Amino acid sequence: MQPTRTAAAAALLSAVLASPAAAEGLVISNWDGYMPPDLLERFTAETGIAAELAVHATNEEIMGKLVASGGTGFDIVFVSSPFAEALNALGLAAPIDPAKVPNLANLYPEAMELAHDPGNTYSIPYAWGTTGLCYRTDLVETAPTSWMDLLKPAASLEGKVTMLSTDRWLMGAAALALGKSLNDTSAETLEAEGALLIEAKEKLLAYDDTTFYAKLVSGEASLVHAWDGWCNYGIAENPEIAYVIPTEGSDLWVDTMVVMASSENKDAAMAFIDYVLGQETGVWVAENILYKTPNKVAMEALDPGLLEAFPNMAIPPAELIGYEQLRDLGEGQRDFSRKVTEVMAAQ
């Protein structure tokens, strides 16, 4: 190797190896695009606390990372409620100090009584909603009303439906259709759910939890199993798209903020959560992500036109809290996972 090339290589290597040490201030892990792009900048300007955004793709991924590293490296993580519950059970979540989060008062009272964490002792809800059916009114003969319309689709819809592939929601659809609890992992229930899903698989276009709304817009699919907020992305592109909660009901999904027990900046973390609970962020979430937030003052400040264009945005908290939440399955997880594998591997 020539000396110049060696020198260039050495320079490149030293540039890489001399990466800065851990950042001071807060490190927050969230999905990309799930909070206002200028939020951290405004937060720092107002409080003087430096903050950096780390991004994760899925709950599962950040969870794996936190378990492997014992939770170090992050101060606050955004995860869905069953994952928050597991973090708490594993001793990785810090207790929330309500005295340092006065903006908790902005939440609906219902958002303080969530089944996984009554009183919000270790997790603060950021957004919530339902799971149901999203469909093209111009491509289905009769509007769907039941989970069975998805699981046993009409002949004209065969090969035109998709289901969510994330295990809990996939099995959840069958649980709701059968009138079972979403968190029931008894052998009989799993057996019945598995049988129903394997039968449904034959008529399915795909399992899809990332591009199903695009499939509706292109007409590839006519009816999809969807989270309400994502269905709104389809509605925004094509007004023929509609969302319905089947008569058997839905789950209540909740995305939460959790402060890590390993955080060395817990006061700053509480200050951040307090800042996020302000009206402005809630309004941004509703207007830009088209998700409902448990933030009362934000929801009340929304343009009524938005609620008209996206009717599921108007589902009241009293109705939401009536739906069952997904809970960590604990001992039941093993049998549950095997059944999911069986469904996914079925021909």
Q: Show contacts with another protein in window 156-215 (CB under 8 A).
A: 159, 162, 165-167, 201, 204-208, 210-211, 213-215
- C-beta of residue 126 within 8 angstroms of C-beta of residue 275: no
Report the nearest approach of another protein to the CB of residue 213 (Å). Answer: 7
Instruction: Show the binding pattern over residues 288-317: x = contacts another protein (CB under 8 A), - = does not.
Output: -x----------------------------
**Nearer to another protein (CB atom), residue 1 or residue 99:** 1
Per CB under 8 A, the segment of 47-55, 129-137, 172-180, 258-266 that binds another protein is 47-55
**Nearer to another protein (CB atom), residue 64 or residue 316:** 64
**Nearer to another protein (CB atom), residue 72 or residue 137:** 72
Per CB under 8 A, the segment of 10-18, 103-111, 182-190, 274-282 that binds another protein is 10-18
Q: How many residues bind another protein (CB under 8 A)?
A: 76
**Nearer to another protein (CB atom), residue 101 or residue 200:** 200
Binding to another protein, residues 96-155 (CB under 8 A): none
- State both tokens at 126: 């950021």
Instruction: Show the binding pattern over residues 233-262: x = contacts another protein (CB under 8 A), - = does not.
Output: x---x-------------------------
**Nearer to another protein (CB atom), residue 67 or residue 301:** 67
User: What 3-state class would DSSP assign to 290?
Assistant: coil
Binding to another protein, residues 262-291 (CB under 8 A): 289
Report the nearest approach of another protein to the CB of residue 165 (Å). Answer: 5
Report the nearest approach of another protein to the CB of residue 65 (Å). Answer: 6
Residues 6+ apart with CB under 8 A from 239: none
Per CB under 8 A, the segment of 64-72, 135-143, 144-152, 307-315 that binds another protein is 64-72
**Nearer to another protein (CB atom), residue 223 or residue 340:** 340
Residue 74 sits at φ, ψ, to 5 deg, of -125, 145
- C-beta of residue 234 within 8 angstroms of C-beta of residue 216: yes
Residue 329's alpha-carbon distances to 76, 155, 337, in angstroms, are 24, 36, 10
**Lookup result for tokens 């909660």:** 245
Burial of 29 (C-beta count, 10 Å sphere; 0-12/13-18/19+): buried
Region for residue 128 given its phi and psi (left: phi exceeds 0; alpha: psi -120 to 50; beta: otherwise): beta
Instruction: Please tell me whether residue 60 binds another protein under the rule CB under 8 A.
Output: yes
Residue 172's alpha-carbon distances to 53, 68, 131, 178, in angstroms, are 32, 28, 9, 10
Residue 184's alpha-carbon distances to 175, 322, 329, 344, in angstroms, are 8, 18, 8, 19
- State both tokens at 250: 């839905």
